[in-house]
Amino acid sequence: MAVLEILEFPDSRLRTVAKPVETVDERVRNLIDDMFETMYDAPGIGLAASQINVHEQIIVIDVSEDSSEPLVFINPEINVLDGETFEYDEGCLSVPGFYETVVRPQHIHVKALDRNGEPFEMTPQGLLAVCIQHENDHLLGKLFVDYISPLKRNRIRGKMDKLHKQKSS
């Protein structure tokens, strides 16, 4: 297993739309293991393959307190069950150090494949529902900063650009 580099906003590669996984094989399972190691190391509670510059529909999540409930979503399909929404302060491993309030659907249903390619469904709530939607956005080339005002987004972009220039100096 390996800790992989996480792309950071405003890297244009984060805007690439991920393609479905054709076959869940050893390569995909090894990638999933690397994604979990990268996510836990960061530390975070979710990671989409797009964030590590692999543009395939793979998400790993673990919202447990003790990193004991790893979940894998391959080729996820999300359906909103009703119009009820809620606000949640979101952060992102691709936008480190920034948190903003995002409004998302509260009730969703998810269909996906697990790490063995077996189909499953769930109707998550709370933090897990937020995390699944957030990570699925990455697969669509979206970031949580797309949900905030242009003024706040540009301010974050400026700070991230400055941080990247300092790192490369």
Question: Smallest Cα–Cα separation from 75: which of 15, 10, 19?
Answer: 19
Distance separating alpha carbons of residues 31 and 1, to the nearest angstrom? 8
Residue 130: CA atoms inside 13 Å, Cβ hemisphere, count? 16
Is 134 annotated to bind a ligand? Reply is yes
Is 92 annotated to bind a ligand? Reply is yes
Residues for the chain: how many in total?
169
Q: Which candidate in 65, 77, 121, 135 is catalytic?
A: 135
Is 109 annotated to bind a ligand? Reply is no
Distance separating alpha carbons of residues 102 and 135, to the nearest angstrom? 13
Q: Is 135 a catalytic residue?
A: yes
> Cβ(110)–Cβ(19) under 8 Å?
no
Distance separating alpha carbons of residues 76 and 90, to the nearest angstrom? 20
Neighbour count for residue 147 (Cβ, 10 Å):
17
For the sheet containing 108-113, what is the strand order?
46-48, 58-61, 71-80, 108-113, 119-122
| Residues that constitute the known binding site for Fe cation | 92, 134, 138
Residues that are catalytic: 135
